[in-house]
Amino acid sequence: MSDLKTKHVEEAKRITAGQKIPLLINGEFVTTQKTFSTIDPTIGEEIAEVCVAGESEVNLAVETAQRSFESWSELPPRERAKYLKKFADVIKDVKDYQIAEILDSGLPRSISSRLSFGSLRRAFEYYAEWCDKITSDVISISSQSFDFTLKEPFGVVAVITSWNVPGMFLGPKVAPALAAGNTVVIKPSEYSPLPAYVFSKIAKEVFPPGVVNVVFGGADTGRFLVSHKDVWVVSFTGGTEIGELIVKQGGIKKYILELGGKSPNIIFEDANLDSAVFMSSIGMFSLSGQMCAASSRIFVHKKIYQDFVERFVNVAKGFSVGDPFDPAVFAGPLISQKQLERVESFVDEGKRAGGRILFGGSRISKTGYFFEPTIFVDVPHNSKLAQEEVFGPVLTIFDFESEDEVVKYANSTKYGLSAAVFTKDISKAIKTAKKLRAGTVWINTYGIIPHNAPWGGYKMSGVGREGGKEGIEELLQIKNVYVQL
């Protein structure tokens, strides 16, 4: 056994104690006969056995959450805040969360620490402070009556997270739901259940039984959860196709959906070229392209196109891809063999469409699911590679001449999650940002998602917002009360 494989396998055994990963229901760990294996994408091998929640376990988790909702929602806001603060205090010292994330999702250590784990902790700290700041309005009607509103929790919230940055999704979904007075049933992606298991161990010790429940499984488990009659909110991060399926399965209820993206990144001729190249490359390759906001379509003004492309290729060549435990590694593996094959198919599509590869385009090693940073040019705007989300380290670079032209192409996909504009002309930057159909637009940077700002998409990139005050408002419903005097 290689040193790399030995290290990963031993770390996984230590975290799971060699046992199958249980569900968390009503404050207790529950095991099931049916299980699935989770794969470490760095070594391409099984590292843990995970219990599958069938219909009966999902029903029990939801029923438990529904019962716990009554007492949790009636707690004084500052009491709820104490639980969230305690969770944040406890998890900041739990190194196993980051290790589990590195093992199960291939997230490099530096990114897990700064981006994912940090986001998880900050979300609980931030929303703890929101618990006693939920206010309502009084509406003036007449001298004989008055009207006021109440903001109330929904009840049970189903939280379904993606596999690429588990901590970054768990925090902004679970923390505001709890702060608003809801209870939760969490179903992490079956591709990265290990971080949620560490999360559940902490939640078991911190929160009252039934307030936080965690179930594992695949499509069937998800269907049982979103279609349950006592689940009134579904908060999901993942692909657009799955988001559409969830709405069909769940029926009439509240949805917060953070879905796919094909983000345009516009580089005007007066941009700081060094900064634009660096931030665009970070925005594309730092998670091996496995992010909904990836800088996957770069539009560069013709006057600086050749210079930008040459610099961008040189930067891409310098990125280290390998063992995510290595602090010098910039990008880890893709999540699975299936995802690797998907990326390869997009590369083939790009070639058939007439695109040229300037760098990359191939799998890196036979061990694990590693793929080279890949840069295409000469790809038609209407091709599959230019229109569909790859969710891998493959991007296309286009040239443009006019602002109207680039805005037209930027808005030409069904997605609208994020976009970026690089220019020294702030007036041009803001005017362009207003024309872009995207939920977030970065100016002279890329990929910054503040915990106290809203995040979400336009068009097929989703509905609802996470983060900031909007994140907690999404998890409250409004009741109007009319009083006749």
Q: What are phi and psi of 26, to 5 degrees?
A: 55, 40
Q: Are residues 211 and 317 in the same domain?
A: no
State the Cα–Cα distance between residues 32 and 21, nearest whole angstrom.
Answer: 10
| 412 within a domain of the structure (yes/no) | yes
Q: Are residues 174 and 268 in the same domain?
A: no
* 11, 57, 131, 292: the active-site residue: 292
The larger pLDDT score, comparing residue 56 to residue 485, is at: 56
Q: How far is CA 77 from CA 181, 203, 332, in A?
A: 8, 19, 41
pLDDT digits (tens, 9 = 90+) for 231-249: 999 999 999 999 999 999 9
CATH number of the domain bearing residue 315? 3.40.309.10
Please state the three-class secondary structure of 239-262 as a single string: CHHHHHHHHHHHCCCEEEEECCCC
| 321 within a domain of the structure (yes/no) | yes
State the Cα–Cα distance between residues 302 and 268, nearest whole angstrom.
Answer: 9
User: Strands, E, within 52-112: which ranges?
Assistant: none
Q: Are residues 206 and 330 in the same domain?
A: no
pLDDT digits (tens, 9 = 90+) for 310-357: 999 999 999 999 999 998 899 999 999 999 999 999 999 999 999 999
Q: How far is CA 470 from the centre of its chain?
A: 17
Q: Are residues 84 and 228 in the same domain?
A: yes
| 354 within a domain of the structure (yes/no) | yes
DSSP annotation string for 289-324: T-STT---EEEEETTTHHHHHHHHHHHHHT--BS-T
Q: Are residues 181 and 300 in the same domain?
A: no
pTM > 0.75: yes or no: yes
Q: Are residues 14 and 72 in the same domain?
A: yes
CB 294 within 8 A of CB 450: no
Mean pLDDT, the chain, whole residue set: 96
Q: Are residues 233 and 344 in the same domain?
A: no
Q: Are residues 335 and 437 in the same domain?
A: yes
Instruction: Kindly state the average pLDDT of the residues 277-290.
Output: 95
pLDDT digits (tens, 9 = 90+) for 292-310: 999 999 999 999 999 999 9
- Tokens for 360, please give them: 């990359």
| 92 within a domain of the structure (yes/no) | yes
* 57, 190, 258, 349: the active-site residue: 258
**Which DSSP state fits 193?**
-
Containing structural domain, residue 162: 3-259+461-482
Given this model, what pLDDT does residue 109 score?
87
In the residue annotation, 292 being an active-site residue is answered as yes
Element containing residue 288 per DSSP (H, E)? none
| Cβ contacts of 422 within 8 Å, gap of 6 or more | 265, 266, 267, 268, 271, 272, 275, 276, 279, 280, 443, 444
State the Cα–Cα distance between residues 135 and 249, nearest whole angstrom.
Answer: 33
Instruction: Kindly state the average pLDDT of the residues 35-45.
Output: 96
Q: Are residues 245 and 303 in the same domain?
A: no
CB 373 within 8 A of CB 319: yes
CATH number of the domain bearing residue 208? 3.40.605.10
Instruction: Kindly state the average pLDDT of the residues 391-419.
Output: 98
pLDDT digits (tens, 9 = 90+) for 149-184: 999 999 999 999 999 998 888 999 999 999 999 999
The larger pLDDT score, comparing residue 168 to residue 128, is at: 128
| Cβ contacts of 239 within 8 Å, gap of 6 or more | 259, 260, 389, 391
- Percent of all residues in the chain with a pLDDT value above 70, rounded to a whole number: 100
In the residue annotation, 258 being an active-site residue is answered as yes
